[in-house]
Structure formats: structure tokens, C-alpha cells
Chains A and B, each alone.
Chain A
Amino acid sequence: MTRTGTTRRRAPLRARLRRDWPLLVMVLPGALLLLVFHYVPTLGNVVAFQDYNPYLGDSALQALVNSPFIGLDNFRALFATPAFWDALWNTLSITAFQLVFFFPLPIALALLLDSVLSRRVRTLVQTIVYLPHFFSWVLVVTFFVQMLGGAGLLAQELRQAGISPPEIMTNPDTFLLLVTAEVVWKDVGWGTIVFLAALSTIDPHLYEAAAADGAGRWRRLWHIALPGLRPVIVLLLILRLGDALSVGFEQFLLQREAVGRQAAEVLDTFVYYHAITTGDYGFGAAAGLFKAAVGLVLILLANKLAHLFGERGVYSRS
């Protein structure tokens, strides 16, 4: 990104085209896919301002052209729907809860792993704890049902011991704990990668000098390791904040039946249930557009905040 390439730029366009056309050919398929499956749908958000009716044409495009515009009616209807505010509230509380109870865990585990001196033990533990990251949500929920569900291992053992097992997988009151436990199981190991990489770039002489000055284990952790992680922590916090309105969509869709809408409806599942399954596309698109707009504002804000704190952030102007 830093190379300026001024010498290249002076050549006339025809000569540069003759030289660079193979590069353009290489980029073309990817650009076409993004155009069709990312940018066209982005423009397709106009259905949020329409009384979209898929039967008004032979194709989605024709139906789009033929559907009447109704201004902000879909948004008015959306904001007047209590279930939408419930879903928004659920989403935000889950994000906030996981920011406090999930976010610090990979940092702690990375610090712990970093302090393990035996390379072999470290690699073994890493191999095992990364694995669940690659499981689908269907599998993760399956494992939780298998261990903690009504017919799961825990219930089975408790019943044999004569204790009636608690409801875990279907209890809306503890659902927040359950989904966070699932996220921890799936991603706490994977989350350590980026912190471990950052820890490995810290100059060991810093630790040595601190030790020579009489700083103990914990003080070295506090004054050297954690400051070394600061840029990564800020970066990940920004990304999380920009994504505050997305919580594991499949995770909630899979468990919404079991615990009910009150606890498990988040913005994404709200869109799914109010648009795709009912065919009320305009209304659902309005909810989706609301989410995308708020998300965009959040990520821009968070990035601004990072610059204010003197960090690089996700992107910068350079």
C-alpha cells in the first residue's frame, strides 16, 4: 500500500493496458461474483421502500420494477412492531454480555499458553482447542444437547444418582449463559491465535530488563505483556463493536424452537422469520437495512475512536 508506483503511472493508458490486461482478466471473475452476490443485493434493498410482491412479474427484477413504492411505510410498521424491539434488545444484551464474559477469555488463555515452556505441550493443547472453531453450529448445538440436554449425559448421570436434572437447553431464563458457553466452547481456543502471535513479537529483553529491575511475574504481565497486546485488543474491540448487531445467526436459528422467541429472537432471526418464511419481503428488508445502516455507523464510529486513542484501527487514510 505504501509503494507509490509513480514511474508506472506516467506511461499512457494504452501501453499500461497492453501490459496489465492479464491482471484485469484475473480479477474479473471475483469482481463479477461480488457484483452479482454482494452489490446487486445491496441495491436490491430498495424493496425496503416498496410494497414488494414477488408475483408481480416473472422474475425478481420484474417484480421489483412493478411493485409500488410506499416510502417509509415498512419502517413505520417495523418500528411499531414490539417483536422488533425485543429482538434488538436481545441482540444488544447478548453482545454486551459476551463482550464482558467472552472477550477476555482468549486473552487469558493466550497468556496462560504463552507461559507454558514445553513446546510440545503447547502445540498439543493448541491443536485440541482450535478444533471446535471448525465445527458447524449444527454440530456445536448437537454436542451441547448431547452433553447437557434432557436426554444428555449430564441428565443421565444425575438421574442415575437420583437427582432430577435441571433444564438447560430449553430454559429461556438461562439462555444467555448457554449461548455464551457455546461460543466459549467453539471459539475460545481460536481466539488465542492472534494474541499468541502478538505475544511472540514482544522483545524478550523487555522481560529480562524488567526482571533485573525486580519486577515479578505479575508485574511483567501487567507492564509488558498486556501493553504489547493493546493494539490487537483495540482492533478486535472495534471489529466487535462494528458487528454489535450480529450475534451467531445460525446458533440462534437452531435453538429458537427449543427456548422460544422471547429469549432467542435476535435481529437476524427476526428478519428470517418475518420475511423469508412469511413472504413479507419489504418489511424484512427494512429490518435488514436498519441493521446494516446502524452497523456501518458503528464501525465508522469505532474506527474514529481508535484513531483518537492513537491506534491504527481497521483502516486509515494512508
Chain B
Amino acid sequence: MRPVWEEKPGVAGQAAKGTVLTAVVLVVLVPLWVALVTSLSSRATINAAGGLVFVPRGIDMSAYRIIFAGGQISQALWISTLVTVCGTLVSLLVTIPAAYGLSRPGSVGHRGLLFFFLLTFLIYPGLVPSYLVVTGVGLKDSLWALILPSAINVFNFVVVRAFFQGLPAELLDSARVDGAGEFRILWRIVLPLSKAVVAVVGLFYAVGYWNVWFSALLYIDDNEKFPIQRVLQTFILAGQTPQTSGTAVGTALPPTLAIKMAVVVVTVAPIAAVYPFVQRHFTRGVILGAVKG
């Protein structure tokens, strides 16, 4: 509703606003659309378009059949799913208790430990020593190298902690009077009240693990263990052809371009599928936390 005191916008102003917003939205959506349509196009459609396809003509799923039939891409998708699920679980299991444990000023060691956590914002260890430590503790070529070094993100810790500090203290105190231990309070009282912030922070972690690329470049040499981003980089940006199995069926192989775009689509899909459900919590869960922290 327009407030009564606000003047009516001019036609030119409205048109300009609409144009700018439409342009912004299109700039985001067109590349996604082109990738999707091209991945679903047959060889004839791609040849007729001279490459990437903008206008869909029929649906051809053969590119997806190829990448899910086994081979390097299926393997990478499996690895990325594994890393994302395990990593997010580990991260939440570390971050949430730490945030709760440091949410009460005056508990033993509170100041020192909090300082220990927050100081990491100011100190940056550097690539070389981190590399030496991660390889030094024997994580070279282990998927844990993609998880453990980034398992706790101090920004996320601050967000969760600020949220916990905003919960009504009387609620926790009365549970304590009733004899509930801290673990029980966290599990039974605090967590059910914190679904929004856990969803947001969980999404941040999950996206981080799904997107992991540089850590894999550093620590993973075995291409059986490549996550999807690493495969995407080697064969789209560096121009190698992926090894796919199931080529001996006798049917013509779908064009490489369709396969490439299908990989792009399956890399985007999990993010695009999960994020809208969490989006409505962003402002409430994150900004409040960040501002208070």
C-alpha cells in the first residue's frame, strides 16, 4: 500500500524502474535458461542453432542418461553428495554446541574461549602453512581434507551464538531449576526454538561443501575422488572430455555441448532446489545475528 503522503509516481519513473528490475532479473536467468535448454536439446537442434540453444525444440534426455550412467560425472556427483551431507552434519554438530557453550557470559573460561574463537577473524594463517598442516596430519587424498579445515566457520558461529543469546533467559533458567542438564536443554528447548537459524547456517555450510573446488585442487590428486566442481572445471574450463561409460549401446552419443550443459544443470540444481525454502529466513536469521554479533 502506498502511504497517503507519498506522491504518485510518474509514468516515466515507473517505466524506468520496471526496465531496470527486468534487466537485472534477465541477466541472472538467461545463462541458466540457455544451459537448461541446451542440455535438453538433440544434436539436430544444437546444430541448427549453431551451438547453444535459446528456444527449446523438443526434449532429449540422452545427455542426462549418459552422465548418470556411471563414469566420472556420476562418481563426482556421488562424492560431492557425500562430502556435502557429512560435512554439513559435522559442521552443525561442532558449531551449534560451541555457540551454545559460549552463549552465557560468566561461565568458566567464557572470555578466554570467546576471544580464542573471535581472534580468528583478525589472524589469517596463510595458504602455505595450512597446506603443510593438512598434508602433515595425513589428509592428502582424503575427503576429510575437504571437510575438517573448514568444519567450523566463525561467522556462522557468531550468528548462531547471537541467536541463542536472544532467547528468553527465564525459559532456560526454569529448565535448569527443574534439573535439566545443559545437553538436554540444548536439545529439547533451544534447538526447537532455533529452526530458522539452523536452517540458514546449515544451508551456508551445505553450499560451501557442494561448491568446494580449491581444496580439492590442493589436496585431492586421485580423480576417483574429485568432487563435481573439480570435474566441471577440468572439462568445461580446461576443455577435456569427460570419461563416460555406457557408450557401447549403439545409439549415437549426444553432442558434447549437451553433456557439458547437463553437468552445469546438475551442479546448479541442488542449490536452486533447496535455497528458496531457506531464503525467507535470511533476513531474520542472519542479519539479526550479524548486527548483534
Contact = CB atoms under 8 A, between A and B. Distances in A.
Interface of A: 1, 3-5, 8-9, 13, 16-17, 20-27, 29-31, 33-34, 36-45, 47, 54, 59-61, 64, 109, 112-113, 115-117, 121, 125-132, 134-139, 141-143, 145-147, 151-153, 156, 159-160, 185, 188-189, 193-194, 196-197, 204, 207-208, 211-212, 216-217, 249-250, 253-254, 257, 268, 271-272, 275-276, 281, 284-285, 288-289, 291-292, 295-296, 299, 314-315
A167 to B, nearest CB: 16
B264 A139 contact: yes
B35 A146 contact: yes
Interface string B100-118: 1110111111000100111
A17 B5 contact: no
Contact of A59 (B17, B105, B136, B214): B136
A129 B25 contact: yes
Contact of A250 (B25, B121, B124, B213): B213
Nearest to A1: B105
A9 B111 CA distance: 12
B122 A276 contact: no
Interface in B88-145: 93-95, 97-98, 100-102, 104-109, 113, 116-118, 120-137
B252 to A, nearest CB: 22
A37 B207 CA distance: 21
Given A3-B106, A116-B21, A147-B34, 9 more contacts: A22-B181, A23-B100, A23-B182, A24-B101, A29-B94, A60-B136, A126-B279, A137-B211, A138-B213
A288 B28 contact: no
B126 A156 contact: no
A135 B211 contact: yes
Given A29-B94, A204-B3, A60 B116 contact: no
Nearest to A246: B124
Nearest to A231: B291
27 contacts: A1-B105, A22-B182, A26-B97, A27-B97, A29-B97, A31-B116, A39-B125, A41-B130, A45-B129, A60-B132, A109-B24, A116-B21, A121-B21, A129-B24, A130-B275, A130-B279, A132-B28, A137-B211, A138-B232, A139-B229, A143-B31, A146-B52, A147-B30, A156-B49, A208-B5, A211-B7, A275-B131
A96 B229 CA distance: 30
B136 A112 contact: no
Given A3-B105, A30-B117, A22 B21 contact: no
A60 to B, nearest CB: 3
B108 A193 contact: no
Interface of B: 1-3, 5-7, 17, 20-21, 24-25, 27-32, 34-35, 49-52, 54, 93-95, 97-98, 100-102, 104-109, 113, 116-118, 120-137, 148-152, 154, 157, 181-183, 186, 207, 210-211, 213-214, 217-218, 229, 232-233, 236-238, 261, 264, 267-268, 271-272, 275-276, 279, 282-283, 286-287, 290-291
B207 to A, nearest CB: 5
Contacts of B182: 22-23, 26
A153 B55 CA distance: 12
A39 B261 CA distance: 41
A60 B34 contact: no
Contacts of B30: 147
Given A3-B106, A145-B236, A291 B124 contact: yes
The 8 closest A-B pairs by CB, nearest first: A5-B106, A60-B136, A288-B126, A44-B129, A30-B98, A26-B97, A26-B101, A136-B211
Contact of B233 (A20, A138, A143, A281): A138
A110 to B, nearest CB: 12
Given A29-B97, A109-B24, A153-B54, A40 B127 contact: no
Contact of B275 (A54, A131, A142, A152): A131
Given A29-B94, A37-B148, A37-B149, A9 B132 contact: no
A27 B113 contact: yes
Nearest to A153: B52
Nearest to A155: B51
A147 to B, nearest CB: 5
B275 A249 contact: no
Contacts of A116: 17, 21
Contacts of B104: 5, 23
Contact of A26 (B27, B100, B127): B100
B50 A156 contact: yes
Contacts of B290: 194
Contacts of A211: 5-7
A125 B18 CA distance: 11
Given A24-B109, A151-B51, A34 B129 contact: no
Contacts of A284: 127-128
